[in-house]
Amino acid sequence: MSDWESVIGLEIHAQLATKSKIFSGASTAFGAEPNTQACAVDLGLPGVLPVLNREVVTMAIRFGVAIDAEIDHHSVFARKNYFYPDLPKGYQISQFELPIVGKGHIFISPSEGEHKEIGITRAHLEEDAGKSIHDQFPDQSGIDLNRAGTPLLEIVSEPDMRSAKEAVAYARKIHSLVRYLEICDGNMQEGSFRCDANVSVRRKGEQKLGTRAEIKNINSFRFLERAINYEIERQIELIEDGGSVVQETRLYDSERDETRSMRSKEEANDYRYFPDPDLLPVAITDEDIARIRAELPELPEQKKQRYVDELGLSDYNAELLTASRETASFFETALAEVPGQNALLANWVLGDLAGALNKANLDINDSPITPSMLAQLISRIADDTISGKIAKEVFEAMWQGEGGADEIIEARGLKQITDSGAIESLIDAVIAANPDQVEQFRAGKDKVLGFFVGQVMKQSQGKANPGQVNAILREKLKP
Amino acid sequence: MTLKIDDVRNIAHLARLHIDEADIDRYVADLSSILDLVDQMNQVDSSGVAPLSNPLDATQRLRDDEVTESNQRDKFQAIAPDVSQGFYRVPKVIE
Amino acid sequence: MTRSISDIRRGLAAGDFSSVEITQDYLSRIAQHNPALNCFISVTGDIALEQARQADAALATGEAAVLAGVPLAHKDLFCTDGVRTSCGSRILDNFIAPYDATVIERFKRDGAVMLGKTNMDEFAMGSSNENSYYGSVANPWNTRHVPGGSSGGSAAAVAAGLAPGATGTDTGGSIRQPAALCGVTGIKPTYGRVSRYGMIAYGSSLDQGGPFARSAEDCALLLQTMSGFDPRDSTSTEQAVPDYSAGLGQGIEGLKIGLPKEYFAEGLDSRIAGVIETAIAELRKLGAEIRDISLPNTSLSIPTYYVIAMAECSSNLSRMDGVRFGHRAENPVDLEDLYKRSRGEGFGAEVKRRIMIGTYALSAGYYDAYYLKAQQLRRMIKQDFQQAFADVDLILGPTTPETAFELGAKTDDPVSMYLQDIYTISLNLAGLPGMSLPVGFLDGLPVGMQLIGDYFDEAGLLNAAHCYQQVTDWHLQVPEAFR
């Protein structure tokens, strides 16, 4: 493996989150009964014509601006001709020579501290095809054209990635970006974010690219990593055994964790691209681009930098917090109520909250603990009302719906004991009860302090302020 | 420009048209003579001329992102050759 | 039965007759003559009478739409909701359109009555109406001769008095050429003037719908209804529609008319040239100024047109695949078989030829040599016209190189058929408006003269034609068998 290098490029199809289709006024809502959202235009009935959805153009330009890409003032739709039952017109309206978004780039951090630039060759608009199902009828396939005409943005990367890990980092970055830009909901299970990987290998030092295979049917980041790794190994083994890689499309089988050649779908299709005469060139002005740029939300890259520079968060935490717009938004909303508690809040969001959400399989948007509620909990820790340890108990109670932090602290009597007099009494009692340990401590066994702290905490049901307990104990245990 | 029989077979396949073997020669002859006509375009030098796609050189109008179509499945499927449970049916496709 | 549409409107308004009466008249004429002429693929008698009844009711209240009660025929290329729309093809023989074309909607809005769907060359591909699945159409002036194509049925129906007006479509001359061969008036408007939504596509960047009638005055009425912006057609123009009828009778004193020398060169039957000269003399008498001009790239227009039209249609017809509508082969063994046999059985030979040439022209390795080259020549042809219109207001020439030829005379050689389009084709490439009007006869067969206008100057064309028709009566002639 060490004298081999893998070269990977990704083609991502992001379904744009518009209400209606790219060329017709039918709905794009997911999950409808078959063919109930396929209007005459989507069905490709004789005589129908396409009309372009404005929002689709805006969303594509938004993406282009966010990846610093060239945006042509003149963009053209082309017909990609081939026959398949889920393609009603016998051609797909796509873009060929003049895509709406040209060359751009994005930065990834495949591992902590690492920064790599990945080039994006182009992003173009096209219409999605319908769906075929093969298990409903004995000798026939069923065609549902609800999805036909849904707008897609096809994002093509340069073959700049050198490992499955980099590919996944890139895919995640694009995923996060399209959600930040609110142009795609990124739902991989529903098929609104699809990744195809182009994988080839070559010996280290070689300039020429090896023959590549295209891997399709990957619907999670985990499978993306596994599929690419499988394919790299397969190709290396093949070449080392004296064979050569065939340029083909392969499907990833997640159950067997392997890639398989597709049944000759690729007889080198001649798509016979030509500009679609039913559509006119799209004119994009500098004003359009400037307006869209001005309306962009703060992007993940900028936000992350701001968290590091202004909030003093670690690069790692900032990256994690900004990975999803919802998490960043939650964090910022909560932070507004406990300004200054950056690090503490970050730890709770990324630690306990993330853990609880994961376990319950919930999105942060569906969290039973709101940003405001979490902020309140944080401020009770910050003002010493409760200790960090007690806070975990309060969090759990909040999660179960017992109310806000203050309510729970009150109801369960969890307020921290900070009155030095009270703590002294507790300590005196513990010291009096454990003379042997006192001897051991005074003899130099420092570790015994922990025993005393533990006893005091136990006597106070965990409510004594640990810092004060420590300080007063040391005082009292002095010889 | 004379086409060969295999050219015609390839084109017919790309276009998903069945041509009877008995008619192939006729198609080869007809298509070749049409291509001879078309080759007359080469009499003129057009280098440097921008291609014209739309006669009016206009640009695309955009429509607002609104749902304007309702479910007309029954009407559209009434004219379909083979539908069942809302699906259009074709011979099984293996992927 | 040689009533003009204007006459019909006047008569209906005056109560001289009812729409139901005249609709019945036309329907019985159709029943009588269609067997010999074969102009109609579908006759929509019940629908027509119901529409006529509604029109009569509206006329009685005095609140009738502009074409209320006027019976018309429609080329079977326009989708008509609930009515078969075949495009002259077996592959759509069972296609009951589930929606109305915009043009049809507009005629309904304006109160017109639909007599039926007219015969045509399959998918608008042809110049003689001999390529129809439903059989050829006969020319009412001599039934052993062709009516022209592709809108042969509509032109013949108007010529024989089976309808006072009809719609057609024109991609390379399919309104103008049959108008010339049948001795009626027809106009193809500027590209984008009439909506293509529901007008089944042949050459998308070339197609335009337009009317046939017995006069420019009638055409103006029909074109008014057909024209105007349609948000469902991206190639539809938002340019305002003038009042075509109000623009008639302006006189043509000082109008500059250009005669392209390429249109009067060898290849034009000298007797036709003679007839055209006579018509030109009439125009001179009306005050028009005649000039010589040149359209140097005229001869290239045929190959250029055919490459573009065939490339576009090869793609447009891919949707006819037997899956969602239309003809489907029996017992397909697999998907390939379904496609190939449905399309093989459904399409006629000319359509298959054009699909194959179009596919070839677009295929890998040939795109630059054919399609791209044709689009470059297309710009050069457009530039020829733009230069000419800097000097003249209208361009004039013969519509066709010959009068109506005999049925079967050109069916063995596709290319000889394509050469019929030499005068009409270049306008579709440039997107300009053009019309044909009858200007005489040769051996009992009509001769048509073509007028070409600058972009969106349909009003100028109609006016010039109308002025000519006020001092001549070629457009009022009716074939003996149909008087």
Across A360-375, average pLDDT: 93
For residue C445, the domain's CATH number is 3.90.1300.10
- Partners of A420 in beta bridges: none
pLDDT at residue C118 above 70? yes
Tokens, residue A359: 């376990």
pLDDT at residue C1 above 90? no
Instruction: Provide, as residue numbers in chain C, all residues whose Cβ is less than 8 Å from the Cβ of A273.
Output: 362, 367
Cα distances (angstroms) measured from residue B79 to each of B83, B84, C84, C99, C327: 10, 13, 11, 12, 11
Residue of C nearest to B17 (CA): C340
pLDDT at C172: 95
Task: Spot the catalytic one: C150, C154, C314, C426.
Answer: C150
Q: What is the mean pLDDT of chain C?
A: 96
pLDDT at A263: 58
Neighbours of C404 (CB within 10 A): 29
Question: Do residue A278 and residue C201 have CB atoms under 8 angstroms apart?
Answer: yes
Instruction: Provide, as residue numbers in chain B, all residues whose Cβ is less than 8 Å from the Cβ of C192.
Output: 55-56, 58
Let me know if C410 is a catalytic residue: no
Whether residue C311 is contained in a domain is answered as: no
Q: What are the helix (H) ranges across A371-434? A: 371-382, 388-399, 405-412, 420-433
pLDDT band at B95 (very low <50, low <70, confident <90, very high): low
The DSSP element (H or E) to which B13 belongs, if any, is helix B5-14
- Partners of C72 in beta bridges: C114
pLDDT at C438: 98
Nearest to B37 among C95, C302, C377 (CB): C302
What pLDDT, in 10s, does the model give residues A224-259?
A: 999 999 999 999 999 999 998 988 889 998 888 888
Instruction: Provide, as residue numbers in chain C, all residues whose Cβ is less than 8 Å from the Cβ of B12.
Output: 356
Instruction: Provide, as residue numbers in chain A, all residues whose Cβ is less than 8 Å from the Cβ of B7.
Output: none
Tokens, residue C280: 């030109």
| Max intra-chain CA distance, chain B | 58
pLDDT band at A268 (very low <50, low <70, confident <90, very high): low
Nearest to A47 among C101, C311, C371 (CB): C101
pLDDT at residue A264 above 70? no
Query: Residues 298..317 of C with a Cβ closer than 8 Å to A: which?
Result: 311-312, 315
The CA distance from B77 to A25, in Å, is: 19
Question: Amino acid identity, residue A309?
Answer: D
Neighbours of chain A (3+ CB pairs under 8 A): B, C
- Partners of A27 in beta bridges: A20
Omega prior to C150 cis, within 30 of 0: yes
Question: Do residue A277 and residue C320 have CB atoms under 8 angstroms apart?
Answer: no
Whether residue C178 is contained in a domain is answered as: yes
Whose CA is closest to C115, among C68, C65, C157, C85?
C157
Interface size, chain A vs chain C, as Cβ–Cβ contacts under 8 Å: 93
Query: Residues 81..120 of C with a Cβ closer than 8 Å to A: which?
Result: 85, 87, 92, 95, 97-99, 101
Across C129-135, average pLDDT: 96
Count of domains for chain C: 1
User: To the nearest whole angstrom, how far is the Cα of B69 from the nearest Cα of chain A?
Assistant: 5
What pLDDT, in 10s, does the model give residues C420-474?
A: 889 999 999 999 999 999 999 999 999 999 999 999 999 999 999 999 999 999 9
pLDDT at residue A1 above 70? no
Tokens, residue C194: 């009439």
Whether residue C88 is contained in a domain is answered as: yes
Q: What is the mean pLDDT of chain A?
A: 92
pLDDT at residue A186 above 70? yes
Lowest mean pLDDT among A322-331, C330-339, C440-449: A322-331
pLDDT band at C62 (very low <50, low <70, confident <90, very high): confident
pLDDT at A113: 73
Q: Which residue has the tokens 């500009």?
A: A275
DSSP-based three-state secondary structure for A6: strand
pLDDT band at A267 (very low <50, low <70, confident <90, very high): low
Across A464-479, average pLDDT: 84
Nearest to B33 among C356, C378, C415 (CB): C415
Across A284-300, average pLDDT: 93
Interface size, chain B vs chain C, as Cβ–Cβ contacts under 8 Å: 167
Q: What is the mean pLDDT of chain B?
A: 92
User: What is the span of the domain harbouring residue C50?
Assistant: 5-255+391-482
The CA distance from A236 to C449, in Å, is: 74
pLDDT at A395: 95
B61 reaches A (C-beta below 8 A): yes
Beta strand A91-94 pairing with B83-84: unpaired
Nearest to A91 among C232, C318, C339 (CB): C318
pLDDT at residue C166 above 90? yes
Across C351-367, average pLDDT: 93
pLDDT at C223: 98
Q: Are C11 and C3 in contact (CB under 8 A)?
A: yes
What pLDDT, in 10s, does the model give residues C373-382?
A: 999 999 999 9
Neighbours of A82 (CB within 10 A): 16
